């Protein structure tokens, strides 16, 4: 059986936190709980500041098993305003990842 995951191309993540909101609403999580948390990474290189936003799946994430079982995308993927998330098999996503140097692949 294929293993499924979520690919985040954080080159394009704008830090809007829509994925967090979508996850909380989909799963009815209380304040302070979510299946995804957007981390902000600030680095300075050569006097220039760079801010990267990296959505990280938490232990509460089940990749929206109920949604994906009926052919829908996980809520965070569906509502991602930057379109930087993809859902699919780990094998498919690993191939896509080869062309995306600033990406992260999560799986369950």
C-alpha dihedral sign at 25, 36, 17, 13: negative
83 within 8 A of 10, measured Cβ to Cβ: no
pLDDT in tens, 12-52: 999 999 999 999 999 999 999 999 999 999 999 899 999 99
Q: Where in the chain are the domains?
A: 4-107
Residue 43 CB-density burial (10 A; 0-12 exposed, 13-18 middle, 19+ buried): exposed
Of 81, 33, 26, the residue nearest 58 (C-alpha): 33
The pTM score is 0.88
The pLDDT tens digits of the residues spanning 71-86 come to 999 999 999 999 999 9
Reported as a pLDDT band with limits 50, 70 and 90, residue 108 is confident
CATH number for the domain whose boundaries are 4-107: 3.30.70.20
CA distance 20 to 83: 14
Sign of CA dihedral 36, 42, 43, 48: positive
């Amino acid at each position: 059986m294929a293993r499924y995951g979520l690919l985040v191309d954080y080159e394009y993540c704008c830090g809007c936190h829509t994925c967090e909101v979508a996850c909380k609403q989909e799963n009815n999580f209380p304040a302070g709980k979510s299946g995804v948390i957007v981390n902000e990474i600030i680095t300075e290189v050569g006097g220039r500041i760079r801010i990267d936003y990296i959505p990280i799946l938490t232990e509460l994430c089940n990749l929206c098993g109920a949604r994906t079982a009926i052919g829908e995308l996980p809520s965070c993927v569906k509502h991602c305003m930057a379109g930087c998330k993809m859902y699919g098999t780990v094998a498919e996503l690993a191939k896509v990842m080869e062309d995306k140097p600033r990406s992260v692949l999560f799986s369950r």
